[in-house]
Copies of this chain bind each other. A is one copy, B any other.
Amino acid sequence: MAFTWRSRIRVVDTDVSTRIHYSALFRHLEAAETEFLRSLGLEYSRWFDMGLSLPRVHVEADYLAPLGYDDEIDTDVRVDRIGESSLTLGFRVVKIDTGELAARGQLVGVCMDVQNGKSTPIPPVIREALEQVQPR
């Protein structure tokens, strides 16, 4: 059951090619990720309150169709994998007006103890909420 976040490509997201700058896509993925986690009651303030953060260890994206200024997009977020301490989220970005799959992305974060800067197991309360929405 995917979560979807709608946003628009802004001027600041574009570059001299007249299309989106590849790095700007990550701002949209981040908004989608944040709202996805909030929808599960797992907003980052909860992680911080538990002394945890989720730094990225890997990110990637494929650009499949051009996105340009003012294009509206829907970003689907899903849980790809829950490891001992890692969390992999997958993203699909659809261009609203054509229905095209415009981009795909994946972010891998590692649950980190903010005190010592080391990875730590994802707490059960977070794991269980994520498992509930993980595709089977």
Contacts and interface: CB of A to CB of B under 8 A. Distances in A.
In the complex this chain forms, how many copies of it are found?
4
Chain A interface secondary structure, helix, strand, loop or mixed?
mixed
B63 A58 contact: yes
A101 to B, nearest CB: 13
A23 interface: yes
Contact of A10 (B8, B14, B31, B68): B31
A34 interface: yes
A45 interface: yes
Contacts of A31: 8, 10
Contact of A16 (B8, B18, B64): B18
A11 interface: yes
Contacts of A30: 10-12, 23
A58 B55 contact: no
A60 B63 contact: no
A61 interface: yes
Interface of A: 8, 10-12, 14-19, 21-23, 26-27, 30-31, 34, 43-45, 53, 55-64, 66, 68-70, 117
Given A11-B21, A23-B26, 7 more contacts: A8-B34, A11-B30, A11-B34, A12-B21, A44-B69, A55-B63, A57-B62
